[in-house]
Structure 1
Amino acid sequence: MSTLTAVEKQLHSEPDHRRYTIVLMAILSGLMIWSVSDLSVALDERGMIIARNILTGLVNPDLAFLFSLTNQGVFYLLMETIAIAFLGTILGAFLAVPLAFLSASNIVPKPISGLTRMLLIVIRTIPSLVYGLMLIRVTGPGPFAGVLTIGITSIGMLAKLYVDAIEDLDIKVLESMTSMGCTVFEKIRFGILPQLFSLFLSVMIYRFDMNMREASILGLVGAGGIGAPLIFAMQGYRWSQVGSILIGLVVLILIIETVSNKLRTKLVNG
């Protein structure tokens, strides 16, 4: 009985958050009503016909286009998208390594790490489509512009994750190498990289998984891959071809995600 009394006293001694909850719910409800009232939702008869045609095309894909082995078929376009994502990821991963070490405050002086972090923030701020549009003006439309775009956009995220891993290292190894008279390059090459290799590789595989989706979108601005045929098929109301492309993309991304998850699990646990 005394135990129940103590529990009840503890329960009643807890602060009452009901007023806070009511105010918070009222604010959220007001924001939702304001957001919904600002939307303009209008469905006319023509829009419903287009929606029905889209659904019909998606469930009845163009099988000849889907299984075509020519350079205009879905298989070739998907392979080109994979190549863009893979090469762009490799490029970004290599460029991110020196920037990551220049951003690590436990490796270089803080002024240098601060400036490099600002550079990485700028790189991450600009959307990939903007990079794609700029690089297309330099290199012309095609897969090469896509590879450069994927590489540049990958640098920001990869370098940030690399920095987190570098700064979490046990600095005793670095202190020992410093006492031995090792240079900064020797400390990175022999003291840090062997410890971080598997983690760096795991992060790179994760970024490749993301870059597959980025490469699909970049085709919309002419940077190669399957995005351009997708937007052309949509603009031409060829919904059966749109269905074929989306089926190919879904299957490919599922396969890549499954394989990459298994590889990352082995790298982290192994």
Structure 2
Amino acid sequence: MNTIDQQLQKATNRRLPKFIITVIVLIIFLWSTSAVQLDNITENGFSIAKNILMGLVQPDTGLLFNLTTGGVLYLLLETMAIAFLGTIVGAVIAIPLAFLSASNIVPKPVAFVVRFLLIIIRTIPAIVYGLMFIRVTGQGPFTGVLTMSLISVGMLSKLYVDVIEELDTSVLESMESIGCTTMEKIRYGILPQLSALFTSIVIYRFDMNLRDAAILGIVGAGGIGAPLIFAMNAYRWPEVGSILIGLIVLILIVEYVSNKVRNKLVNG
């Protein structure tokens, strides 16, 4: 009975903090709605929305199944290639940075400095990186690859570190007791345990990069984004519909395959 009374007392004591948090969330929600302006919605806007939906229902099949370099299929393959290559490059670069960020592998001051650098990398949006790289390398797929690589480094390093720091350190302690160096501990004691998890994380990042690569095309970083924005600006909604349908189908296929592979890797 004393235990029940204690639980009831704890529940009573938690009511006030929960009430305060609820009120704060509601205030922030109401304040956030002030940014929503419905005055700009006009009949022309509803007409455009209708045309967009009609474009999805009646896409430009000639563009959708066009096998030339200007067709949807080729542009989707280019977008997927940008995302894939950028993910692989970023995944490789992220491995040493992740180990340098893990406080259970390197001294804490070193881990702090590298983590701070990675936080800075993750803070900048992908589209900003794309605009900066365009000034350096010009428009094209190479710009998209560089951007995908950089944003992948920031996020993959963070996810790698989370996995590394959850490792059983008894293996590392045993290797250290027999005089193994840091690189030997990483090579023989850590990487064999992490390969499946790292691969799963990389596949997940590729899934995200595929969406980002489509957006980066808008700023001239290659892929399907540029034709999409050009078609939208010219109000060619059947072309927009064909591009969106192709992009949706590609993302669904990649997501299905990546989920299957990730589940197999994690669950053995």
Task: Normalising by structure 2, report the TM-score.
Answer: 0.91
User: What is the correspondence of 1:1-270 to structure 2 with a 5 Å cutoff?
Assistant: 15=12, 26-42=23-39, 43-270=41-268
1-structure distance, mates of 2:139, 2:102:
37
Long gaps (5+) in structure 1: none
1-structure distance, mates of 2:64, 2:133:
30
Over residues 228-262 of structure 1, what are the superposed CA-to-partner deviations in whole Å (9 max), with x where a residue is unaligned? 00000000100101110110111111110010001
- 1:27–1:101 CA distance, 2 compared to 1 (3 A): closer
1-structure distance, mates of 2:6, 2:199:
54
Letter in 2 for 1:133: L
- 1:192–1:235 CA distance, 2 compared to 1 (3 A): same
- 1:110–1:13 CA distance, 2 compared to 1 (3 A): closer
Letter in 2 for 1:104: A
- 1:107–1:33 CA distance, 2 compared to 1 (3 A): closer
Over residues 38-72 of structure 1, what are the superposed CA-to-partner deviations in whole Å (9 max), with x where a residue is unaligned? 43212223223222222222211001110111100
C-alpha deviation, 1:180, in angstroms = 2.0
- 1:241–1:110 CA distance, 2 compared to 1 (3 A): same
RMSD of Structure 2 on Structure 1 (CA): 2.3
- 1:9–1:252 CA distance, 2 compared to 1 (3 A): closer
1-structure distance, mates of 2:10, 2:101:
48
Letter in 2 for 1:257: E
State the number of aligned residues: 266
Task: Normalising by structure 1, report the TM-score.
Answer: 0.91
- 1:51–1:187 CA distance, 2 compared to 1 (3 A): same
Aligned-residue sequence identity (percent) comes to: 64
Q: Does 202-211 or 32-41 show the bigger shift?
A: 32-41
Letter in 2 for 1:148: L
- 1:19–1:186 CA distance, 2 compared to 1 (3 A): closer
- 1:49–1:192 CA distance, 2 compared to 1 (3 A): same
- 1:56–1:21 CA distance, 2 compared to 1 (3 A): same
2-structure distance, mates of 1:189, 1:7:
52
Letter in 2 for 1:217: I
2-structure distance, mates of 1:17, 1:106:
36
Q: Does 239-248 or 182-191 show the bigger shift?
A: 182-191
Helix, strand or coil at the partner of 1:15: helix
Letter in 2 for 1:79: L
